[in-house]
């Protein structure tokens, strides 16, 4: 079965610093990997996806992620965090429907 794991429940960074939210995957075949963000009492917002091609994927709001096959990782990154980036982030793999990681709460402090 396809699955993803997010090893960190919480990530704290200072505004202006780079941020990384980690995700590792376990799939058979080629993975279709996604990142979503969720603000309180809201639905999911799509950030970016990896299907094939360039390992570095650029997405919405300045986020990017790097697909690393040897490390089976798909970490989300942003060069300079904003306070408004504070939210819940989900990594997911498509397996028919989506299989989501447990989520990582990102807090960006001023």
- Compute the least distance from the CB of residue 38 to other proteins, in Å: 9
Q: Which residues pair with 78 in a beta bridge?
A: 19
Site string for other proteins, 13-42 (x = CB under 8 A): -------------------x---x----xx
Q: Name the residue nearer to other proteins (CB basis): 15 or 98.
A: 98
Q: Determine phi and psi for 30, rounding to 5 degrees.
A: -85, 130
Site membership for other proteins, residue 97 (CB under 8 A)? yes
Site membership for other proteins, residue 90 (CB under 8 A)? yes
Site membership for other proteins, residue 100 (CB under 8 A)? yes
Q: What gap in Å lies between CA 94 and CA 34, rounded to an integer?
A: 8
**Which residues contact residue 16 at a Cβ distance below 8 angstroms, ignoring those fewer than 6 apart?**
80, 81
């Amino acid at each position: 079965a396809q699955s993803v794991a997010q090893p960190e429940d919480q990530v704290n960074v200072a505004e202006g610093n780079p941020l990384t939210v980690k995700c590792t995957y376990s799939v058979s075949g080629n993975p279709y990997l996604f990142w979503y963000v969720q603000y309180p009492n809201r639905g999911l917002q799509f950030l970016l996806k990896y299907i094939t091609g360039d390992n570095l994927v650029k997405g919405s709001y300045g986020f990017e992620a790097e697909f690393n096959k040897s490390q089976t990782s798909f970490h989300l990154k942003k060069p300079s965090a904003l306070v408004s980036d504070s939210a819940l982030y989900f990594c997911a793999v498509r397996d028919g429907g989506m299989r989501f990681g447990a989520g990582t709460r990102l807090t960006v402090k001023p």
